[in-house]
Amino acid sequence: MSQPLPPNPPPARRSAWPALLGIAAIVAVIAAAFAWVGGWLGGRGLTPQQMTDTIENGKPHPGFRRAHSKGVCVAGNFQPSAQAAQLSRARIFTQPSTPVVGRLSIAGGDPHGADAQARVRSLALLLKTDDGQEWRMAMNSFPFFVVATPQGFQAQNLASRPDPATGKPDPAKMAAFLQQYPEAKKFFAWAKSAPWSNSWANTQFNGVDSFWFTNAQGLRRAVRWSMRPHAPFQDLSTEQRAQSDADFLSEEFATRLAQSPQQWDLVVTLAQDGDAIDDPSQPWPDARPQVVAGTLTVDAMQPQDTGPCRDLNYDPTVLPDGMAPSDDPILAARSAVYSVSFNRREHEIGTGQAPDATGAKGEAK
């Protein structure tokens, strides 16, 4: 520059504003991305929080599981069969006996619901081997899931809400649900026609979702599993259902346990090419090979309000090495929704808002 400078020239400084705006923009973009990922801005589709809210239907029972709320804790052990180790290298299949902390329950969100009204019963198990690995299961008495996706399950829960005017689900909404999710028809056919058994002990519980088992040789196979009862099936007639006590399942089970431990065989079904691995609403053909991988023995029962199953989340994606979840979207969604349910109820229990769920009801507080 050859021009004479004015006296006391200001230093040749660029304005700070473009830089400040740039910094603000960068920070804002990252914050907005975080908010979007965290679901604050919407647009993330259905969330586990929304599904849990729908299940609660505005009437949560503090401290209780949001679904399958009524149940009992059970304990016992699992002993693998000689064939089990060929399926998976998981320690559970070579350790001679593994302790079990489980829970028998009925479907529905009412912790005081009538046992005889619950079409679906369930069995959850936690097996922890001596190497500290865990296998958690959450099985149901239905042979396949009602829908293929969590969106379908949410639609079913919304459609089956009682209409305030009639106290019953709106038939038009149910029809619309079935039209959109036709796979649910076979579930409703099962619910209508399958016989009711008169005990948890003679109920078969099915894992429904698919998993991958890998054995010590590295062979990887898609499997589903069931707990097949040793106790023979006994029918529960419509008349018996109408007359039975609200807690008849736990009362009956206690009577059985007083006589002898109750057992189920773990039956593992192996998929063949073309079987629906990632769709729990599609049963596999009956002819698929099955392996009895072991026997579950239940020899003790405790109320859930003070029992060890209360503060456990039976997340079916908690698996030992040698087992892995499939890409079944219901399986991932169960993990997500169970976690929301667990966080809510543990918070209620931990902050003293759940006397009914912890056996503290009626005690001086």
**Cβ distance to another protein smaller for residue 25 or 82:** 25
Residues near 132 by Cβ (< 8 Å), separated by ≥ 6? none
User: Does 68 qualify as catalytic in the annotation?
Assistant: yes
**Cβ distance to another protein smaller for residue 190 or 342:** 342
**Cβ distance to another protein smaller for residue 134 or 251:** 134
Compute the distance between CA of residue 331 and CA of residue 319 in angstroms, rounded to an integer: 12
* DSSP letter string, 290-353: EEEEEEEEEEEEEETTTSTTTT----TT---TTEEE-S-HHHHHHHHHHHHHHHHHHHHHHTT-
Instruction: Please give the residue ranges that form the binding site for another protein (CB under 8 A).
Output: 16, 19-20, 22-24, 26-27, 30-31, 33-34, 37-39, 44-49, 51, 128, 131-134, 150, 310-313, 317-318, 320-322, 325, 329, 331-333, 335-337, 339, 342-343, 346-351
Degrees to nearest 5, angle at CA 190 with 64 and 146: 55
**Cβ distance to another protein smaller for residue 28 or 175:** 28
Give min distance, CB of 19 to another protein, in A: 4
Please pick, among 68, 112, 230, 347, the residue that the annotation labels catalytic.
68
Q: Which two tokens stand for residue 18?
A: 């473009």
Give min distance, CB of 291 to another protein, in A: 22
Give min distance, CB of 133 to another protein, in A: 6
Give min distance, CB of 9 to another protein, in A: 19
Q: State the CB neighbour count (10 A cutoff) for residue 221.
A: 16
Give min distance, CB of 330 to another protein, in A: 9
Q: Which two tokens stand for residue 239?
A: 């008349």
Where would I find the beta strands (DSSP E) of the chain?
70-80, 98-106, 121-128, 134-140, 205-206, 211-214, 220-229, 262-270, 290-303, 323-325
**Cβ distance to another protein smaller for residue 141 or 335:** 335
Active site residues: 68
